[in-house]
Amino acid sequence: MPDSLILPTITDIEAARAPASMIARVTPLIASRQLSAIAHAPVWLKAEVLQRTGSFKVRGAATFLAALDQDTRQRGVIAASAGNHAQGVAVAAAAFDAPCHVVMPFGTALPKERATREYGAVVVLHGQDLGESVVRAKALALEHGWTFVPPFDDLQIIAGQGTLGLELFDQAPDLEVVIIPVGGGGLAAGTAMALKDRNPDMRVIGVQAEAMASAVASFGEDAPLAVEPASTLADGCAVPRVGNLTLPLLNRYVDEIVAVSEEWISTAMVWLLERSKLVVEGAGALGVAALLAGVVDVHDQRTAVVLSGGNIDINSLARSVEHGLARAGRYLQVVATVPDQPGHLARLLAVTAQSQANVLDVWHRRSAPSLPIGAVEIELLLETRDVGHAAALVEALLETGLRQVDAQIGLVRLRDPAVSEPTPDDSA
């Protein structure tokens, strides 16, 4: 760690409680009977999704704004963000009567852009990705004398996010394990420091998405390692490089950092919506995903999982729910290529009815380029109970004489032997 780095201390986190509490509310710690049964341990959910603006970000933003002198605040602040940080800074700036600008990349979800404007910020759309938005925001800060509010790699930001750890310990001082999402590392670093100060024996586990696991790659190293940008449901934690300040704190106060797949993230989002009645974004669901996937062992240990945010637009939520239902065996797409003759659709529907699966949609295709002459492609979208029920349904369809030619999560392709296989020329 370079000697020039000034890292936050527990004193900074304790000092941040007053300014953070001006905006942030105390969020509930909710016992989860169902998750406790799965994890074989008492589990609580720290519902930061019920925080103002829907995420923990207001804690750090309020602390940062409070540390500025009045003249600096009056000149204004600027941030770059596609979501939670933007809204947190906008609310904090309004509370301190500071003019606020936020640069958001083109393609930012409309509800997040609208919410940021409604909180009082002037939104500037610039850049194809967040990196280009950051460059623009810093240029505007220099041009106008505004103060740039960093998303995570800042002493005041980390201290403010760490107030969540103090609050969590006050609510449940006998916790043994706390699981926290990790993006740039501000929340995990500050929270872990606060928890370890109160109880050095507490185990703190960070969770990232496999698609962009910069903290996993950097954990234990002397300097942050960058990873390639990638698409992930946990877009709130999609940071290609963990912070220079946050990494040494993660190394010191976090016990391990694990990664989870997109499939488990979507499963966790659906699970939280269905079982806990909480709308949680992909990044916020990382801790639950880790428990469901079994990548962390908390057996018999009193455990809290931080649900860091719940800001997800309705279209993304719908897609995530569909993916999660398919992953859980609740949606099954059956695509069968059969002779274009009477009776074949009836055969598929009869098996579906006997298996007690619910038909959501039916499509007939006769004009697909890959279809042999005299064949039809029948697609059924079915609702099934679970993975076992879906597998039993597929087995029943195979018993009618159909052959399985492909299978993926939530999708099976079947073919009647009477339909000729496509030749290389046909498929070309």
Active site residues: 57, 308
β-strand pairing of 29-31 with 256-260: unpaired
Give the pair of three-digit tokens for residue 266.
């979507």
The distance of Cα 97 from the centroid of its chain, to the nearest Å, equals: 32
What is the largest distance, in Å, between two alpha-carbon atoms of the chain? 81
46 forms bridges with which residues in the sheet?
29, 306
> Which region, left, alpha or beta, applies to residue 71 given φ > 0 means left and ψ of -120 to 50 means alpha?
alpha
> CA–CA separation, 386 vs 194, rounded Å?
41
Burial class for 262, CB neighbours closer than 10 Å (0-12, 13-18, 19+):
buried
Place of tokens 């509010």: 149
Number of H helices, E strands in the chain: 17, 15
| Residue with the two structure tokens 């939670």 | 84
CA dihedral 26, 29, 298, 286 (to 10 degrees): -70
How far is the C-alpha of 422 from the C-alpha of 376, rounded, in Å?
13
